[in-house]
Chain A
Amino acid sequence: MLVKRLLLFIPLVLVLLLLQSYFWVPTYENQAAGNPNRLLTYIEGSSGDAKILNPILNADSSSSNIVAHVFEGLLDLDENLELRGRLATDWNISERAYLLVNPHHRFPDGTEVTGSTLLHRIKKAWLTGRDEGLKNYVQSMELLPSTQREETISLLLPNAQGKPQLKDVQVTVNVPARVAFALSQVDQDLFDRLKPILGKKYFEHFPFDELIRFPKELGKETEAALRVKFPEILPIGEHNPTIVFHLRKGVNFQDGHEFDARDVKFTYEAIMNPKNLSPRTPDFEPIKTVDILDPYTVKIIYKRLYSPAINAWTMGILPEHLLNDAAMTREKQDRGLSDEAQKSFGMRDSQFNRHPIGSGRFQFVEWQGDEFIHLQRFDEYWEGPAQYQDYFMRIIPDLLTQEIEFQAGAVDFYGAQPHQVDRYKSDPTYQWFSSLGFAYSYIGYNIRKPMFAESEIRKALGMAIDVEEIIQYLMYGEGERITGPYPKNTEWYDPSLPSLPYDPNGALKIFADMGWVLNEEGWLEKDGSIFEFNLITNNGNPIRKNILTIAQNAWKKIGVKCNTQVFEWAVFLSDFVNTGDFDAVVLGWSMGIDPDLYQIWHSSQAGPQQLNFVGYKSLRADELIVRIRQEYNRDRQRQLTHELHRLIYEDQPYTFLYAPLSTRVLDKKIVLVQKDANGKEDYQKIYPIKSGDHTFHFHKWRKLEFTPEF
């Protein structure tokens, strides 16, 4: 019977055919043994694919990882998290400041304010040197005549559906005569120093209406929104911090084109070009102008005091010649796009993002979507070539498969989970890193709610929770206690503050002092109502979910009734956090390197959709936050951050829980290769730097044929 035979024969042949393919596949051992290049290849596993390989556009960690290898910024952070020159050799920061003549004001002695009197009086004070700051910082001053300028202002207004939308308004600004100052360093108190001369109210009652002209038919709401912006459009006293970068000469992009000042200016312009929708705009928005002084010198003038702005220059610099208008027009035409698509064509659409060219240590070779990205070392890199020849990022979405590949040797690096720490720490084939990053977890209380209004109550709630227990059992010991809002490994953090003690009895005593007494059912009660609230967090984070339970249980022990709920992330944000409609949340922050906490802690940021969602309001904190972001001197900045840290610590708007340690494993054969002057090699153990980053010396890494002993 043919059918019967076929029914048996076909599957049999198929199965045999498939299974025999096993004999053609190299085993893991063969792959390493028969391939000397493997020692010069670094393979990393990543759970997500990169999105867009362009330093001004990427926003995800996989893309940033690749971009950091291919591109290089003017600056970067060195081992101690201080700025270090890369494409820039050095830089200096000074200031230009302007003071408008306020014609409606009179000096304290009653004389009218005119340009010449203003300059004369300030100059006199400067030359007599009565004010130290004025004498030390101001280098020169002059009077500038009045001018006129046209400007387009973008306003954010609700549209018919009530959603915010941008609207452009054309205004004419009549700038009155002003005194211009040149300062050797940035001085945020310059105008305060002038107040004895100018009179205390010089900066109030400024006639904006006479000086700023706008179209009459704007409508009430637009006009109101525009008026709010008047002090920003025409600041009475204006600080213009200025950075001059001296660029490294003879640096080439990977296509052989020389890097110069035009690339810096172009990168800035590309970020600010609204078509490109760069997520970096907020970092570069404070810039007023970028001027090319000569091919190797760029001058950046800022609109206002904002010291973290310099950190933005650690971002990779784009090659102008490959992305300028001419190049984009060529690409548009080559791809034969429709008119509609040509009009909206921006850098986001360019093929450059799939095949980037930068000036970093590695150059791009190939990208197979959701499979791997291949980089190769750039031999002409100005600091000399890296040790590794090839770099691969393999995309392996599943963590378990990633671990299997790592153990088989097909991936060199594994970001281990805290519960796997013990397994790897004791294994002699691997080296182990566990270090602090910039993140922390906390319980945030909605301070707008009367029950959380007192800092004592928040403190008592914090004292009831045994954080050590959380670290030990949830994090497997891979976490450290924290006391405040700064990353523990930065100098902004004040290490002298003691962490909140675990003291349920002390907590109960605080509650008793505030009039809360335990009722018959064991709950704290005052004026007939018990202390009860909801603690919520987002779904998909098992550790946060467990913290929920631990906190609930800890509070139950002191008579605080806490109900817990977990929501899907999008719902959690839109219905609770963004609207401020919650009691308490378990969440975490991942901080930046700069000390600016404006968005998270300033009282102006406590509205809906803003990040101070707990509603923290403190006059002193506001003052400190603003001073910190305007301070350019690191030592003074540190003093201010320590003060802010202490203030927030005392107010306890959050119960600061812990900073997680990131835990990573590498093959032990990978070492740091140090070369002395004669080219003799010396091997060193890889170590994480202060920021917790163990890949800081990646360019000196290499895999050895043997396992070294340190």
Chain B
Amino acid sequence: MWNFIFRSVAQRLILLVIVSFMAHSFIHLAPGEPSEVDPMNPRMKPEDIAKIRAAFHLDDPLHVQYAYWIRDLASGELKSFKDSQPVLPKIWDRFLNSLPLFILATILVWTLAFPTGIYGAVHRGGLYDRSTVFFSYALISIPSFFLSYLVILGVVEWLGVPVISLKTFGMDQADPAYKIMDRVWHLVIPSVMSALAGIAVLSRYVRSQMLEVLSQDYVRTARAKGLEEDTVVYRHALGNALLPFVTMFGFLIPGLIGASVIFEQIFAWPGLGRLGYEAILARDFPVTMTLIFFTAVLTLLGTFISDVLYAVVDPRIRLE
């Protein structure tokens, strides 16, 4: 076990270096310049542009630029091109904004998908099952941004309350209880919207997984023993059906950065996805690179956790 962990961490570290170097090259090979180097500004002279390029190390060879980036990232003094603010605190602030959205959406997906899927599997072919199949495919097919617009329009039109951003604008003087609940409300719609597709997909998985397990011999045996149907389904079948989902947990983690770009854009949510999106548009290389780096770290961490969890929950698997 320890041997596996050690080897796997070492491999991932090497992979991380390769990934970050490749990402660095891709970013710099893509056409376009940081918006500070503005060749379409009629007033900018070649001398001025050369000065800015030199300050950002843009004329150095790629591997030297990479070394600068690593050095600054390690010392915590990496600065954004855009506003010269340190990158790490900037990412941390946005991370704190994105986190509740991510957590709530994840909880919604996992708590709602299971009952929906299990019920569908148990009552296979019934009206409920068929209508959840229909709605699942509908939710998977309709673009989520389009649905979000409809929901925002509906809520503002019929309920008359604000939905976008972190909180209602101008609530600074309100009671703390109201402030907290206001924040919760502003979380609800974006997280529901970003959870919808997840619920649809995951409940499909749960359903098919349950169906597979329910047709196994040991389930038949359990029923033959005369056990209650609920005991059969929830004790004998569910436990085994859950196994593959444990590994999915690990893959969720990188979604923290990338998954929410569209929702953060529509709901004016100052999170990580928007930070990354805007950094890419402005060719803000330090911010883009650091975010890609963290995404890679989270992905590798996620797969690692999956591997370990799998061994922990499934006694048949031994990690060597």
Interface residues of A (CB under 8 A from B): 1, 3-4, 7-8, 10-11, 14-15, 18-22, 24-29, 31, 35, 38, 41, 43, 48-49, 51-52, 59-60, 154, 156, 159, 161, 163-166, 274, 277, 279, 281-283, 285, 337-338, 340-341, 348-349, 353-354, 368-372, 392, 394-398, 400-401, 404-405, 407-408, 410, 568-571, 573-575, 578, 592, 599-600, 609, 611
Contact = CB atoms under 8 A, between A and B. Distances in A.
B253 to A, nearest CB: 21
B36 A59 contact: yes
A392 B149 CA distance: 25
A369 B171 contact: no
Contact of A396 (B36, B61, B164): B164
Ranked nearest first, the 10 interchain pairs of A and B with the lowest CB-CB distance are A570-B32, A24-B181, A370-B270, A570-B31, A21-B185, A21-B184, A282-B43, A599-B42, A348-B84, A1-B230
B270 A29 contact: no
Contacts of B61: 161
Contacts of B184: 18, 21
B311 interface: no
Q: How large is the interface on B (under 10, 10 to 19, 20 to 34, 35 or more residues)?
A: 35 or more
Contacts of A281: 48
B3 interface: no
Contacts of B230: 1, 4
Dominant secondary structure at the B interface:
helix
B127 interface: no
B161 A568 contact: no
Contacts of B39: 573, 578, 609
B310 to A, nearest CB: 22
A408 B156 contact: yes
Interface of B: 30-33, 35-36, 38-48, 50-55, 59, 61, 75, 77, 79, 82-85, 90, 93-94, 104, 107-108, 111-112, 114-115, 118, 149, 152-153, 156, 159-162, 164-166, 168-171, 174, 177-178, 181-182, 184-185, 187-188, 192, 228, 230-231, 233-235, 238, 265-268, 270, 274-275, 278
19 contacts: A1-B230, A3-B234, A10-B111, A11-B115, A22-B188, A25-B162, A26-B161, A43-B169, A59-B41, A161-B59, A279-B36, A341-B77, A369-B90, A369-B270, A401-B164, A401-B268, A404-B152, A408-B156, A570-B31
Given A24-B178, A354-B85, A397 B274 contact: yes
Nearest to B271: A370
B158 to A, nearest CB: 11
B164 A25 contact: no
Contacts of A338: 75, 77
A10 B169 CA distance: 32
Contacts of B118: 7
A454 B233 CA distance: 84
A354 B85 CA distance: 9
A29 B160 contact: yes
Contacts of A3: 234-235, 238
A26 B268 contact: no
Contacts of B267: 401
B83 A51 contact: yes
A279 B38 contact: yes
Given A1-B231, A43-B169, A348-B84, A21 B160 contact: no
Interface centre among A18, A43, A48, A609 (most CB of B within 10 A): A18
B40 A599 contact: no
Nearest to B282: A51
A356 B268 CA distance: 25
Nearest to A368: B270
A328 to B, nearest CB: 13
A14 B152 CA distance: 21
Contacts of B161: 22, 25-28
Contacts of B170: 31, 35, 38, 41
Given A31-B168, A279-B36, A282-B45, A25 B182 contact: yes
A12 to B, nearest CB: 9
A167 to B, nearest CB: 10
A165 B54 contact: yes
Contacts of A392: 169
Given A14-B111, A165-B59, A371 B166 contact: yes
B72 to A, nearest CB: 9
A4 B234 contact: yes
A410 B160 contact: no
